[in-house]
Amino acid sequence: MKRALKIRLIPQCVTCYRQAICGCATLTRPMPGPYNGNVKNYRTLAFTPCGGGREIGANSYLLQLNGFHVLLDCGVHPKKEGLESLPDFSILNRAPDAAIVSHGHVDHCGAIPELLKQFPGVSLYSTQPTVSVMDRMLHNSVSVMGTLAKERGIAEYPLYQHEDVGYAVKRMCGMPLDAEFALDERGDITAEFLHAGHVLGSASVLIRTPEHKVLYTGDICVSDQELMAGMEPMDGDLAIDTLIIESTYGANHLADKTSVEEQTERFAASIRHVIERGGCVLVPSFALGRTQEMLNIIARLQESGDIPDVPVLASGLGRALYEVYNRFSEYLHPEANLRPLSRFGRVGDVWDRGVVLNILSKPCIIVATSGMMIENTPSALLAEEMVRSHRHGIFFVGYLDPDTLGYKLLHEEPGATFAFGLARPKVKVVLEDIDWFHFSAHAPRQVLRDVIARIGPKNVIFVHGDPEAIDWMYEQSGAESRTFSAAIGQTVTCEA
């Protein structure tokens, strides 16, 4: 039986998931209300999402413990632009005492420079590899925002400059895994990074106080990947009072029914089919994590003879981050075989159609950003040309947001016309070989349920998921715990 929730309830809009004063709601349901007090003891935790409460993006969570404010992650929203892409910093009525970054994906760290512009003295913590990853990811974000400002006329871009990124990286304290460190001067509040298995440097965050233990999973992968070892098992010995857990695949039942081995075999067979008919394979991939994993999976399949030995190309940011993987190889699986970056060719300037046509003239495999095929990225520009032919194959290998080009292309009917951007002309989709393979670095929902059951926390807060995913996790998990979800700006209080 679930324990009763002792929280103040207000109407909540099921359309935008904000308070029902928004005016767009035709249906409301009770949800936790905003918290206006100040926690004066360690036993009570006040939790408020500044972003990423019932969505994936701009992930940022404020914890209040005995007057001490900790911000967990501070990212940007990949589907929003300008100031709308940032967490709601108006929720922070003062500077956080500390901000902790779980890993280097921009939906978790992309707003750190903006946070420092508003609160310059914030103490920042992450793992050591994440500092280097953020350096590359955030400088790239400045360049991308500059391009969007010119091409789309987004006046607010760039939100920050390269010098702001430099300042943020210098302020980051890179901490080792499994090492407890103090967040306050007295040492009453400590934090520790635990291996999360998601991408290089990713960590769950364990926060200890005299009366309350909080575990924030961040993004987790329990099973081993090609390069990353899975998250280390956790159990009730940790004596966690409040678990804050991701819910990315809460609405995806397919992820529960497959194995990496099955997906790899199907992936190899699909590549063989395309290459043998003289086509090229495009694998849209996130620059951090998925690119490095897929390049080494493809290399292994070529070395074993499972797929033809054709050129394998990788796009720019993924290559830069590959070098960070090489520098921090001790954070990878002990048996990981990280091939030399020189094994993989460069994609080149795909904004030049002549370059794209030259790449596609001979069989090859291309691993290119972005994974969800965001407008005007290498994967989108390559796909725009590839869908005009029967020869090629486009194989998605990670999470696809329903509002992205990648999701829409995957579900498009052959023969339809498709625009790869607001300002791009429509092209006829002739290509039929467009597929999705489950190589995600996020734990499936049944695994998340098992994690909750093993840890056995008193309270569970579900974050980092679409509303359907959060709702499934809320209803199907944590039967022995008090369970919570909260929208942006709303606070739940959890007792130890």
Beta strand 68-72 pairing with 28-32? unpaired
Residue with tokens 């089919």: 273
Q: Return the closest-CA partner of residue 126 out of 181, 52, 53, 59.
A: 181
pLDDT at 203 over 90: yes
> Cis before residue 378, ω within 30 degrees of 0?
no
pLDDT at 402: 87
Could you list the beta-strand ranges (E) of 128-251.
Answer: 172-175, 181-182, 190-195, 203-208, 213-216, 242-246
Peptide bond into 158 cis (omega under 30): yes
Name the β-bridge partners of 69.
64
What is the separation of C-alpha 118 from the centre of its chain, rounded to a whole number of angstroms?
Answer: 24
Quote the tokens at residue 235: 């159990």
Same-domain pairing of 37 and 156 = yes
Asked, for residue 104, whether it belongs to a domain, the answer is yes
Enter the tokens of residue 72. 């967990």
Rounded mean pLDDT of 200-211?
A: 98
Nearest CA among 13, 5, 78, 128 for reference residue 373: 78
Residue 214 is assigned to a structural domain of this protein: yes
Contact present, 50 and 488 (Cβ < 8 Å): yes
Hey, what amino acid is at 179? A
The answer to whether the CB of 407 falls within 8 A of the CB of 394 is no
Q: Is the peptide bond before 477 cis (omega within 30 degrees of 0)?
A: no
Strands (E) located in 14-89: 28-32, 44-51, 60-65, 68-72
Q: Is the pLDDT of residue 41 over 50?
A: yes
More confident residue, 9 or 413: 413
Within a domain: 1: no
State how far the Cα of 25 lies from the Cα of 18, in Å rounded to an integer: 9
Average pLDDT estimate for 59-77: 97
CA dist., res. 329 & res. 482, Å (int): 39
pLDDT tens readout for residues 339-358: 999 999 999 999 999 999 99
Strand runs (DSSP E) across 315-423, as ranges?
A: 345-346, 365-368, 393-396, 417-419
Say yes or no: 72 and 217 in one domain.
Answer: yes
Q: Among 394, 414, 436, where does a domain finish?
A: 436
Torsion sign (Cα): 346, 349, 351, 356: negative
Rounded to an integer, what distance in angstroms lies between the CA atom of residue 99 and that of residue 18? 25
For residue 417, the tally of other CB atoms under 10 A from its CB is: 10
Identify whether residues 224 and 121 lie together within a single domain: yes
Contacts with 477 (C-beta within 8 Å, 6 or more apart), sequence order: 448, 449, 452, 460, 462, 483
How does pLDDT run across 112-165, given as a tens digit for each residue? 999 999 999 999 999 999 999 999 999 999 999 998 898 888 999 999 999 999
Query: Is 386 among the domain residues?
Result: yes
Q: Is 15's pLDDT higher than 80?
A: no
CATH of the domain at 215: 3.60.15.10
- Section 287-312 average pLDDT: 98
Q: In the prediction, which pLDDT does 255 show?
A: 67
Q: What's the confidence (pLDDT) of residue 258?
A: 77
Q: Give DSSP secondary structure letters for 167-186.
A: HHHHHEEEE-TT--EESSTT
User: pLDDT tier at 33 (50, 70, 90 boundaries)?
Assistant: very low
60-65 and 365-368: which strand pairing?
unpaired
For residue 377, which amino acid is it? T
Which residues, including other chains, have CB under 8 Å from residue 476's CB and lie 6 or more apart? 445, 449
What is the rounded average pLDDT of the residues 268-273?
A: 98
Q: What is the pLDDT of residues 447-458, one digit of tens each?
A: 999 999 999 999
Contacts of 233 (CB under 8 A, 6+ apart): 454
**34 band by pLDDT with thresholds 50, 70 and 90:** very low
Whole-number pLDDT of residue 223: 94
Query: What's the rounded Cα separation, in Å, for the pair 101 and 75?
Result: 9
Distance, in Å, from the CA atom of 122 to the CA atom of 150, rounded to the nearest integer, reads 32
Higher per-residue pLDDT: 21 or 257: 257
Last residue of a domain, one of 392, 409, 436: 436
pLDDT beyond 50 at 21: no
Q: Are residues 101 and 218 in the same domain?
A: yes
**In terms of domains, do 330 and 425 share one?**
yes
Residue 375 pLDDT: 87
CATH of the domain at 309: 3.40.50.10890
Domain boundary among 436, 453, 482: 436
- Opening angle at CA 294, ends 289 and 295, nearest 5: 105
Tokens of 102: 């779980």
Beta bridge partners of 438: none
Same domain, 176 and 39: yes
Residue type for position 302: Q
Residue 54 lies in a domain: yes
Band (pLDDT 50/70/90 cuts) for residue 252 is confident
Structure tokens at 251: 């609405």
pLDDT band (50, 70, 90) for residue 36: low
Task: Quote the Cα angle for 456-460-466, to 5°.
Answer: 130
**Cβ-based burial of 41 (10 A; exposed 0-12, middle 13-18, buried ≥19):** middle
The domain tally of the chain equals: 2
Percent of the chain with pLDDT over 90: 81
Nearest to 56 by CA among 482, 478, 468: 468
What's the confidence (pLDDT) of residue 280? 98
Please say if the pLDDT value at position 31 is more than 50: no
Integer angstrom CA distances of residue 442 from 93, 254, 305: 33, 13, 29
275 with 214, same domain: the answer is: no
Residues 417 and 455 in one domain: no
In a domain? residue 4: no
Task: Give the span between the Cα atoms of 41 and 194, in whole angstroms.
Answer: 26
Residues 170 and 279 in one domain: no
Q: Indicate whether 2 belongs to any domain.
A: no
User: What is the extent of the structural domain holding 113?
Assistant: 9-253+442-495
Q: What is the pLDDT of residue 399?
A: 85
Q: Are residues 87 and 195 in the same domain?
A: yes
pLDDT value of residue 7: 31
Same domain (yes/no): 276, 236: no
145 token code pair: 């925002």
For residue 322, name the pLDDT band (cuts at 50, 70, 90). Answer: very high
Q: Are 292 and 318 in contact (CB under 8 A)?
A: yes
389-395 mean pLDDT: 97
How many angstroms separate the CA atoms of 109 and 353, rounded?
33
Q: Does residue 446 share a domain with residue 339? A: no
- Asked whether residue 3 is assigned to any structural domain, the reply reads no
CA distances from 258 to 263, 289, 437, 443 (A): 7, 20, 10, 12
Q: How many residues does the chain have?
A: 496
Tell me what percent of the residues of the chain surpass a pLDDT of 70.
91
The band of 6, judged by pLDDT with boundaries at 50, 70 and 90, is very low
